[in-house]
């Protein structure tokens, strides 16, 4: 009986690789894998994937099968492969905050995430990631140990840095910790790539020391490395998004205005500032259902959009295509590549599509927020122009609802039926459109 049991246990941990090449993945439940990691005192390498992920399949077929990769991973880790959308994979994806695929996790026997890597990569880079994971696992302190030290008052810069990186690894929020860290280091270190990267990852709102550091860094932007520039811009963008979310959550118009001031302070041109300001104000008005401010923005912007003639739009599109072709030629980009053709296709009728989309967005805002008949008549004009430029199910749906709100039921039904017919022709989902048609008929 003992021999049989021993055989079954060995079988459950057998590799399902069919030959000696590449990574040998171990089968078993997650709890069994954890126990095996404790027993062998190794980290667990988890390839967490989905069946629809092309890069996941590429890694499995081309990289995991490399001899050098197999040697490194089979010697250093307990290797485990799991579908994020099935069985225990669903819970693991939640536990380790998986946001993209493929993701590679390096977990210790206690279930703590030690290192994370993402994306498809060549074998050489994958081996470098393995070495980083092995290094991270040496002298590893548990999250509980770090938490106890923090609560006990440990605040030196090296400790705060390690603590923040650990919390980031596990999806934690670090904005307050970042502020403490910045106080613990000399000002001369603020410009270093290490600190700029940390700020970019953990920044809170525009009302933080971290944001001031990034804002002031723009003065020496051209003298920075490419990586430093990336961290500065990403951090500023993240701080603005965080601030906007806070303004929305608290319905805080004063904070929105401070955000707009920050946008002006970090914009390189007046045109760039105006575009970003408009977007923030518009989104705030839409989300908070601030009909007065939405109407104010819509009235101003649609006047410009409606004034653009078809000739203007064609000329603008042609200019964009010409600029793209000249830029591609200067960079020796091959016109026969799929990427070139895709960009060129997207630029076709670009100005017409963009104008149509914007007009429909403003008209749809009136559908949701405005009741005044005169205003709805104005929105109907925008909707008609949007359809004239691009006849799409979304544009026709907005038009139909506006007609219905104005009491023009027969025309509304006709427009909605046309939207459904077009959506079917394009292979789109018509469920919502069908429901709208029923609602119009009942009105």
What residues act catalytically? 53, 56
| Secondary structure element (H or E) that encloses residue 165, with its range | helix 157-169
| Secondary structure element (H or E) that encloses residue 48, with its range | strand 43-49
Q: Is the dihedral of CA 135, 139, 140, 146 positive or negative?
A: negative
* Residue 20 CB neighbour total at 10 angstroms: 10
Taking a C-beta distance cutoff of 8 angstroms, is the pair 350, 317 a contact?
yes
Residues contacting residue 143 through CB under 8 Å, at least 6 positions apart: 112, 166, 170
Closest CA to 47 of 19, 77, 83, 85: 83
Taking a C-beta distance cutoff of 8 angstroms, is the pair 12, 28 a contact?
yes
The SS3 of residue 106 is strand
Please give the structure tokens belonging to residue 241.
Answer: 């998004």
Cis amide leading into 102 (omega within 30):
yes
Q: Taking each helix axis as running N to C, give the angle between helix 226-250 and helix 270-287, from 0 to 180 degrees, rounded to the nearest 10.
A: 30
> Which residue is associated with the tokens 């057998």?
14
Torsion of CA 121, 125, 129, 131, to 10 degrees: 150
Give the Cα separation of 126 and 244 in Å (integer): 37
Q: Taking each helix axis as running N to C, give the angle between helix 270-287 and helix 350-369, from 0 to 180 degrees, rounded to the nearest 10.
A: 30
The SS3 of residue 44 is strand
DSSP states along 107-153: E-TTS-EEEEEES---HHHHHHHHHHHHHHHTTPPPHHHHHHHHHTT
Closest CA to 211 of 174, 238, 188: 238
Give the Cα separation of 397 and 404 in Å (integer): 11
Give the Cα separation of 370 and 367 in Å (integer): 6
With vertex at residue 213, the alpha carbon angle to CA 210 and CA 215, rounded to the nearest 5 degrees, is 110
State phi, psi for 266 to the nearest 5 degrees: -115, 10
* Residue 199 CB neighbour total at 10 angstroms: 27
């Amino acid at each position: 009986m003992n021999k049989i049991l021993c055989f079954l246990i060995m079988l459950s941990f057998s590799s399902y690789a069919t030959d000696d090449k590449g990574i040998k993945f171990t089968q078993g439940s997650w709890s069994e894998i954890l126990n095996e990691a404790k027993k062998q005192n190794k980290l667990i390498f988890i390839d967490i994937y989905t069946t629809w992920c092309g890069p996941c399949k590429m890694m499995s077929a081309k990289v995991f099968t490399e001899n050098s990769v197999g040697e490194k991973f089979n010697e250093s880790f307990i290797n485990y492969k799991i579908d994020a959308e099935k069985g225990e994979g669903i819970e693991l994806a939640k536990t380790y905050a998986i946001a993209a695929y493929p993701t590679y996790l390096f977990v210790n026997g206690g279930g703590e995430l030690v290192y994370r890597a993402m994306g498809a990569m060549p074998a050489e880079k994958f081996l470098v990631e393995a070495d980083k994971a092995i290094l991270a696992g040496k002298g590893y302190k548990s999250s509980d140990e770090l938490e106890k030290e923090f609560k006990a008052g440990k605040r030196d810069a090296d400790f705060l840095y390690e603590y923040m990186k650990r919390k980031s690894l596990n999806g934690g929020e670090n904005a307050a910790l970042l502020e403490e860290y910045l106080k613990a280091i000399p000002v001369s270190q603020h410009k270093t790539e290490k600190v700029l990267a940390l700020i970019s990852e953990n920044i809170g709102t525009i009302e933080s020391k971290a944001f001031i550091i990034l804002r002031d860094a723009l003065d020496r932007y051209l003298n920075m490395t490419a990586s430093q520039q990336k961290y500065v811009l990403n951090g500023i963008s993240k701080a603005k998004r965080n601030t906007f979310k806070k303004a929305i959550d608290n319905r805080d118009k004063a904070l929105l205005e401070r955000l707009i001031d920050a946008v002006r302070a970090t914009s390189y041109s007046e045109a760039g500032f105006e575009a970003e300001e408009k977007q923030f104000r518009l989104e705030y008005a839409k989300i908070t259902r601030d009909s007065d401010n939405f109407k104010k923005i819509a009235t101003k912007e649609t006047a410009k959009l409606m004034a653009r003639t078809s000739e203007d739009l064609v000329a603008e599109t042609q200019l964009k295509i010409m600029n793209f072709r000249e830029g591609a030629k200067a960079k020796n980009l091959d016109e026969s590549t799929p990427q070139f053709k895709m960009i060129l296709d997207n630029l076709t009728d670009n100005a017409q599509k963009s104008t149509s989309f914007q007009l429909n967005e403003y008209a749809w805002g009136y559908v949701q927020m405005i009741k005044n008949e005169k205003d709805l008549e104005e929105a109907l004009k925008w909707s008609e122009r949007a359809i004239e430029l691009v006849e799409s199910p979304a544009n026709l749906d907005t038009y139909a609802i506006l007609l219905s709100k104005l009491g023009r039921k027969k025309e509304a039904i006709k427009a909605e039926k046309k939207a459904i017919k077009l959506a079917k022709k394009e292979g789109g989902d018509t469920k919502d459109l069908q429901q709208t048609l029923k609602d119009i008929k009942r009105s």
